[in-house]
């Protein structure tokens, strides 16, 4: 490396040393470690959540043997109607005493849904391994052009890779729901559980009335 180039590099290093290395005029953006969040897009997924919540409710020691009443929303949505029915069925199936009418001796089971519509998500990293699988599929697909007599055979390994990984891939999307299930009695909260899911944009009306502020009995929409 020429002496002049070394001089420029050395000057840059020395100049950089004149400033605090760990300083900034504003916080530097960073990211969270990779995590996973499920997408709720079928009534069977509501059943999975109902089964999970029923099991956790009945596992609470202070709710053992206590009659339960699952509250009904004044204005039902597709989700509130379906989830209430599924949660009631799961509670009965798992041995709970479920009242059909509220009474002072019963604990009240309620649930709350908040739909979140993100206006600007920015860049979201693709699923782990997606780029590697894509690159591998492209590379393998080029083999027939060089070694096989029928180029169309190159679609076979690429399709096999797609079949292997496509079931675990889904878009992130901008719509999410927070579903909170609670059990209370005498102004005391005995159980509270919140779960977050991605939802398809076209399904948001199943959880309330989008964009109107009318939540159909549920706190609905917040823009983050």
Burial of 108 (0-12, 13-18, 19+ CB in 10 A): middle
104-117, pLDDT tens digit by residue? 899 999 999 999 98
Domain map of the chain by residue range? Answer: 43-119+175-223, 130-168
Q: For residue 16, what pLDDT is reported? A: 56
Output the CA angle 28-33-37, nearest 5 degrees.
125
Q: Are 179 and 219 in contact (CB under 8 A)?
A: no
Q: Which fold has domain 43-119+175-223?
A: Rossmann fold (3.40.50)
Residue 178 falls in which region: left (phi positive, over 0), alpha (psi -120 to 50) or beta:
beta
170-210, pLDDT tens digit by residue? 666 788 999 999 999 999 999 999 999 999 888 888 998 45
Confidence of residue 215 (pLDDT cuts 50, 70, 90): very low
Confidence of residue 223 (pLDDT cuts 50, 70, 90): very low
């Amino acid at each position: 490396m020429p002496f002049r180039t070394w001089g420029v590099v050395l000057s840059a290093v020395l100049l950089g040393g004149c400033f605090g290395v760990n300083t900034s005029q504003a916080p530097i953006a960073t990211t969270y470690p990779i995590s996973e969040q499920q997408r709720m897009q079928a009534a069977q997924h509501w059943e999975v959540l109902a089964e999970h919540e029923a099991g956790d409710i009945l596992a609470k020691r202070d709710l053992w043997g206590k009659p339960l009443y699952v509250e009904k929303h004044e204005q039902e949505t597709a989700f509130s109607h379906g989830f209430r029915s599924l949660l009631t069925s799961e509670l009965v199936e798992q041995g709970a005493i479920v009242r059909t009418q509220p009474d002072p001796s019963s604990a009240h089971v309620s649930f709350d849904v908040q739909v979140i519509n993100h206006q600007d998500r920015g860049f979201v990293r693709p699923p782990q391994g997606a780029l590697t699988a894509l690159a591998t599929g492209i590379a393998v697909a080029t083999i027939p052009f060089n070694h096989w007599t029928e180029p169309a055979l190159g679609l076979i390994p690429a399709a096999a890779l797609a079949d292997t990984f496509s079931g675990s891939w889904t878009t992130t999307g901008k719509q999410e729901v927070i579903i909170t299930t609670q059990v209370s009695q005498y102004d005391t909260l005995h159980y509270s559980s919140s779960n977050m899911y991605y939802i398809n944009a076209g399904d948001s009306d199943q959880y309330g009335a989008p964009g109107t502020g009318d939540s159909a009995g549920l706190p609905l929409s917040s823009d983050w």
